[in-house]
Amino acid sequence: MSSATIGDPVRPVQYLQAQMRWRWPEIVFWLATLLPFVLTPSYLILASQIAITALFALSLDLILGFCGIVSLGHAAYFGLGAYTAGLLSKWGWGEPLTGLMLAALTAGLFGFLTSFIIARFRHLALIMITLGIGLVLQEAANSAGWITGGFDGLQGIHTWPILGRFRFDLYGYTDYGYSLAGLFLIFLIARRLVHSPFGLALCGIRDNVERMPAIGASTHAHIQTIYTIAAIIAGIAGAMLAQTSETVSLETLGFQRSADVLVMLILGGTGRLYGGLIGAAVYMVARDQFSGLNPQYWYFWIGLLLIAVVMLLPNGILGGLSLLTRRAKAAS
Amino acid sequence: MPPVFGVLFDGVAYGMVLFLMSVGLSVTLGMMNFVNLAHCSFAMLGGFVTVTLINAFGWPFFATLPAAFIAAALASVVLERIFFRRFYNASELEQCLLTIGIVFVSIAAAAYIYGTDQQLVQLPAYLRGSIDFEGLNFAVYRLFLIAIALLITVALVVMVETTRFGAQVRAAVNNQRMARGLGINVDGLFAVTFALGSGLAGLGGALAIEIVGLDPSFALTYLIYVLIVVSVGGLGSISGSFAAAMLLGVSDVAGKYYVPAIGAFLIYLVMIVLLMWRPSGLFGRR
Amino acid sequence: MSENALATRGLNKSFGSLVVAADVELNLPQGVRYALIGPNGAGKTTLINLITGMLRPDAGRIILGDDDITALPPEQRVRLGLVRTYQINSLFPHLTALESVTLAVCERRRVAQTWWRQLTAYSQEIDEAHDILSALTLAPVCHRLTRELGYGQQRLVEIALALATRPKVLLLDEPAAGVPREESRELFAAIAGLSRDITVLFIEHDMDIVFRFATRVIVMVGGRVLLEGTPPEIAADPRVRAVYLGKARHESVS
């Protein structure tokens, strides 16, 4: 078995390895996430919320950017995770790490069950079904006010210190440390997944789902796996929100949240892992800056932004950047 | 007379309004595969046109209906020219995002101009009140609504089945490429159909004020119902939209009457189950 | 029955009143190269869709070797060794040629569900994919995105994908379609180089190719098998000439 053809000095495996290596912009990015601790300590609570939302956007990227599943109801798993962690705490067990695990389990189970439906449909039917699942859960949560607290949301959540030492307080150091650590660890897992044979299969599904059975792939199994994983991650993000903000309301599983995360991901650029992170950061910083604004006006500008992005920058910020760098390279 | 007839009556009236708002989207989706989530913004526009004309300009209710139709149709032509036609070959995701953006803008604009409260209109005297029949109350307005909607439905069916225009529409929905090959100007056809469908949505929005109310979130709230009607009824099918709208209207009213705790829950479940059974809709192409 | 690599019995399929397959009976012995010819609309691609499971027949059976595969889903037929290529390239535009073929190899080796190990740990699979591409002279461009390759090269990737699944029976749907003359040499070399272990059925319109590669020819018209024979027999048959009346004529070269 030849491992290299004549005149080809680099083995294909080595070439692929070079492709998957950590690039310096990535390292810069993650170092930069530490900056809020020193530069803007008064914004650590906001930074924590950004990290949580970025994690949520990352989970959507896995199914949308890497597998082509358009979901208008992904918040269902986020909210499910939030309510699980919130209820656990409300009922007396406020330990955060076990709360995360339980939330991951619940969201993952629901994701697994719904994935049987998701895997079987495409196009409009699929979009509608994802919307429907989100709406069903939202309505159910609304009706079951005796568990969820209904419109007012869950009260009485108190999160215990992590490992008995790090308390969640108004300064936000623990909040941001917690959510950033969660984001980074799960990002590492997602990055590995994307560079695995499974990641390749997902791209195959996204590029040409009809061809997949013709090379012997069982697309249903692949889709169900990634959808469950994405649901688990979304559930973890939701649980983190519940634990750090110590509130959970109906909007955590509402259509608005599903639409918002979709906007963030598109803004940043799908299928690049970092798109959701960047989109979330840009969106939430902007929203914080304009928070004095009437919510109507906010949605006016978001609507315009969405139209502009789709018309001018369909691959989002990261897509635009990579286009610029390619043009710069070609010109030089 | 048992109350179920009253429930049926109200459900049918609601279903008629849903049909008017949905039929345009169903046909344009079936013809061009363009996912226009902003469709209910046109319905909302029709509603607000009626409100403005009645409250600010003192127009009689009847006269505002054609105005609502025309305003929505015109708005759709403008949007189609400027934005939509560049996205006919784009991915579903991009179409969703573009039109969601337009929905957001329209909601914000409506809230800015009209505020967020419910809009109220005074109906003409002959449309108010109700008729007593066999122990049940039948609202005059709903009778009127059903009558108008049936008239329009019949007109639509006649147009689609007997006119040349209708035949071309059916051909284009059935097989766009073949229709082009036969020399049908599908793009022009689509523009006209789109305007017609949006106009009907505007009319539906105007008629809906009295039975479901109108506020800036209308474009999003009723989008969900319209999408349910369209996906359950089948893309490109007028009869499918009609059947689905009736089904949805009656289920919603019946659900809220008999089991109020469930609320809209039932509708979404019904939709999911129906879509799983027939992914291209009850009457859609396979 | 096991001397046949692939067989169909009484295959029938209609769309309403349009009959696309009528009592199609095939017997392909192992290792033979069969050409399937016939006018447009004769049902040739439909037959491939029926055999591979993309279309469900109204009646009939499909037998691969000793196994009745009529009820199996498409991906399972592929795993049993029944593979097809597409008349119009159906590839993965945003994957490189190497990635595409590696994916097919990974699927075959059932490792495509592992998400916790890096792709680069699977050097056997990557090397196998690279070998397949090298044999098709695609090694220099294997790291280019599929959509950036020339049409002829993409056609070769189409074949590479099929070969990566280690087929026992290979169905080629007009392999040379759309490939300009200058680029078709590698393609024909690839077809000629197919191992004798693989049974090949290819749809073709170009009689030169049929004469070059096929040992037997099947003629289909209107969903039915008209006749079967060696290329010279088919070319000399008056019924075949009548069917192709108006098309470019190829006199048999004896």
The model's pLDDT over A250-293, given as tens digits with 9 standing for 90+, comes to 989 988 899 899 999 999 999 999 999 999 999 999 888 877 77
Query: From CA A142, how far away is CA A144, in angstroms rounded?
Result: 6
Are the beta carbons of A12 and C52 separated by less than 8 Å?
Answer: no
Residues of A in Cβ contact (< 8 Å) with C107: 201, 215-217
Q: Would you call A120 and B227 a contact, using CB atoms and an 8 Å cutoff? A: no
Average model confidence (pLDDT) across chain C: 87
- Give the span between the Cα atoms of C111 and A250, in whole angstroms: 41
**Given this model, what pLDDT does residue C254 score?**
36
- Check A16 against C120: CB less than 8 A apart: yes
Chain C, nearest residue to A229 by Cα: C115
Given B35, B108, B111, which is nearest A124 (Cβ)? B35
Q: What is the pLDDT of residue B284?
A: 65
Contact B92 A123 (CB under 8 A): yes
CB A45 within 8 Å of CB A75: no
Do the Cβ atoms of B108 and A140 come within 8 Å?
no
* Mutation site, C99, C118, C122, interface A, largest A CB count within 10 A: C118
Least trusted range by pLDDT, from B17-21, C198-202, C203-207: C203-207
> From its phi and psi, is residue C177 left (phi > 0), alpha (psi between -120 and 50) or beta?
beta
Whether the CB-CB separation of A139 and A226 falls below 8 Å is answered with no
Which of C175, C170, C174, C220 lies closest to C64 in space, CA to CA? C170
Contact A226, A63 (CB under 8 A): yes
Do residue A1 and residue C131 have CB atoms under 8 angstroms apart?
A: yes
Whole-number percent of chain A with pLDDT over 90:
57
Question: pLDDT-derived band of residue A9, with 50, 70 and 90 as boundaries?
Answer: low
Nearest-by-Cβ selection for A197 from C111, C123, C128? C111
pLDDT at B234: 83
Mean pLDDT value across residues C130-149: 92
Distance from CA of C165 to the nearest CA of A (A): 6
Taking an 8 Å cut-off on Cβ atoms, the answer to whether A143 and B265 are in contact is yes
Task: Give the residue from A59, A50, A96 showing the smallest Cα distance to A77.
Answer: A59
- Please give the torsion angle defined by the CA atoms of residues B74, B78, B84 and B88, in that order, rounded to the nearest 10 degrees: 70
Whether chain A has a CB inside 8 Å of the CB on C89: the answer is: no
Interface confidence, given as ipTM, is: 0.87
Please identify among residues 240-299 of chain A the ones whose CB lies closer than 8 Å to any CB of chain B.
255, 259, 262-263, 266, 296-297, 299
Asked if B271 and A296 come within 8 Å (Cβ–Cβ), the reply is: no
Q: Of the candidates C78, C92, C125, which has its C-beta nearest A207's C-beta?
A: C92
Q: Number of helices and strands (H, E) in chain B?
A: 11, 2
The pLDDT assigned to C1 comes to 46
Count chain A–chain C contacts defined by CB atoms under 8 A: 139
CB atoms B101 and A125 under 8 Å: no
pLDDT in tens, A65-103: 999 999 999 999 999 999 999 999 999 888 999 999 999
The phi and psi torsions of C48 (rounded to 5 degrees) equal -65, -40
User: Distance (Å) from the C-alpha of residue C169 to the closest C-alpha of chain A?
Assistant: 13
Among C200, C248, C208, C198, CA closest to C231:
C208
pLDDT tens sequence for chain B (286 residues): 777 888 899 999 999 999 999 998 988 888 878 888 899 999 999 999 999 999 888 888 888 999 999 999 999 999 998 999 888 888 888 888 899 899 999 999 999 898 888 888 888 888 888 888 777 788 888 888 899 999 998 998 898 888 888 888 888 877 777 888 888 888 888 888 899 999 999 999 999 998 888 989 898 888 888 988 988 888 888 888 999 999 989 988 888 888 877 767 777 887 888 888 877 777 665 4
**Distance separating alpha carbons of residues B152 and B20, to the nearest angstrom:** 9
Maximum Cα–Cα distance across chain B: 59
What's CA B5's distance to the chain center, in Å? 24
- Comparing C106-115, C154-163, C209-218, the range with the smallest average pLDDT is C209-218
**Residues A15, C113: C-beta atoms closer than 8 Å:** no
Nearest-CB residue to A2 (from C52, C100, C131): C131
* Closest by Cβ to C117, choosing from A2, A5, A196: A196
The torsion of the CA quartet A265, A271, A274, A275, rounded to 10 degrees, works out to -30
Q: Say whether residue A306 is in contact with chain B using an 8 A CB cutoff.
A: yes
Q: Please name the residues between 20 and 39 in chain C that touch chain A, using a CB distance below 8 Å.
A: none
**B60 CB burial (10 A radius; 0-12, 13-18, 19+):** exposed
Going by C-alpha positions, the residue among C222, C202, C220, C221 that lies closest to residue C212 is: C202
Q: How confident is the model over A15-19, as a mean pLDDT?
A: 88
pLDDT in tens, A25-52: 999 999 999 999 989 888 999 999 999 9
- Confidence (pLDDT) at C2: 65
**Cβ–Cβ gap A215/C92 under 8 Å:** no
**Residues 152-191 (C) with a CB less than 8 A from some CB of A:** 161, 164-165
Contact B268 A127 (CB under 8 A): no
Closest chain A C-alpha to C81 CA, distance in angstroms: 9
Q: pLDDT tens digit string along C18-60?
A: 888 888 999 999 888 999 998 887 889 889 999 999 888 999 9
CB distance from A221 to chain C under 8 Å?
yes
Tell me how crowded residue B89 is: count the other CB atoms within 10 A of its CB: 10
Shortest distance, CA B236 to any CA of chain A (angstroms): 13
Q: Which among A18, A55, A83 is positioned nearest to A189, based on CA atoms? A: A55
* Domains of chain C with CATH codes: 4-243 (3.40.50.300)
Measured distance CA(C77)–CA(C168) in Å, rounded: 11
What per-residue confidence (pLDDT) applies to C249?
46
Q: Is the pLDDT of residue C251 over 50?
A: no
**Are A223 and A69 spatial neighbours (Cβ–Cβ below 8 Å)?**
yes
Structure tokens given for A241: 């929100």
Given this model, what pLDDT does residue A76 score?
96
Look at residue A8 in the predicted model and tell me its pLDDT.
Answer: 53
